[in-house]
Amino acid sequence: MNGSTPKIAVRGLEKSFGPKRVLDGIDIECGVGESLVIIGGSGTGKSVFIKCILGLLHPEAGSIHIDGAETIGVRRSERARLMSKFGMLFQGAALFDSLRVWENVAFGLIQGRGMERANAKRIALEKLAAVGLGAEVGELRPAELSGGMQKRVALARAIAAEPEIIFFDEPTTGLDPIMADVINDLIIKCVRELGATAVSITHDMVSARKIADRIAMLHKGKIVWQGPAAEIDGSNNPFVDQFVHGRAEGPIQMEVRAV
Partner 1 sequence: MLDFLAKVGAAFLGFLAATGRLVGFALMGLAGAFSPPFYPRIILRQIVYMGYYSLPVVGLTAIFTGMVLALQSYTGFARFNAESAVATVVVLSVTRELGPVIAGLMVAGRVGAAMAAEIGTMRVTDQIDALTTLSTDPFRYLVLPRLLAGLITLPLLVVVADIIGVFGGYIVGTVKLGFNPASYLTQTETYLETMDVVSGLVKAGVFGFIVALMGCYHGYHSRGGAEGVGQATTYAVVSASILILVANYMLTTAFFGK
Examine residue 58 and tell whether it contacts partner 1 (CB under 8 A): no
Site residues for partner 1, 72-131, by CB under 8 A, read 80, 83-84, 86-88, 90-92, 94-97, 107-108, 111-114
Please identify, using beta-carbon distances, which residue of 119 and 233 lies nearer to partner 1.
Answer: 119
Minimum distance, C-beta of residue 121 to partner 1, in the bound complex (Å):
16
Please identify, using beta-carbon distances, which residue of 99 and 130 lies nearer to partner 1.
Answer: 99
Per residue, the 3-state secondary structure of the chain, as one string, reads: CCCCCCCEEEEEEEEEECCEEEEEEEEEEECCCCEEEEECCCCCCHHHHHHHHHCCCCCCEEEEEECCEECCCCCHHHHHHHHCCEEEECCCCCCCCCCCHHHHHHHHHHHHCCCCHHHHHHHHHHHHHHCCCCHHHHCCCHHHCCHHHHHHHHHHHHHHCCCCEEEEECCCCCCCHHHHHHHHHHHHHHHHHHCCEEEEEECCHHHHHHHCCEEEEEECCEEEEEEEHHHHHHCCCHHHHHHHHCCCCCCCCCCCCCC
Q: Which of 54, 61, 115, 179 binds partner 1 (CB under 8 A)?
A: 54
Please identify, using beta-carbon distances, which residue of 28 and 165 lies nearer to partner 1.
Answer: 165
Minimum distance, C-beta of residue 87 to partner 1, in the bound complex (Å):
7
Please identify, using beta-carbon distances, which residue of 21 and 85 lies nearer to partner 1.
Answer: 85
Please identify, using beta-carbon distances, which residue of 142 and 239 lies nearer to partner 1.
Answer: 142
Minimum distance, C-beta of residue 113 to partner 1, in the bound complex (Å):
7
Per-position x/- string for 164-203, each x denoting binding to partner 1 as judged by CB under 8 A, each - no binding: ----------------------------------------
> Which residues of the shown chain bind partner 1 in the complex (CB under 8 A)?
51, 54-56, 80, 83-84, 86-88, 90-92, 94-97, 107-108, 111-114, 157, 161
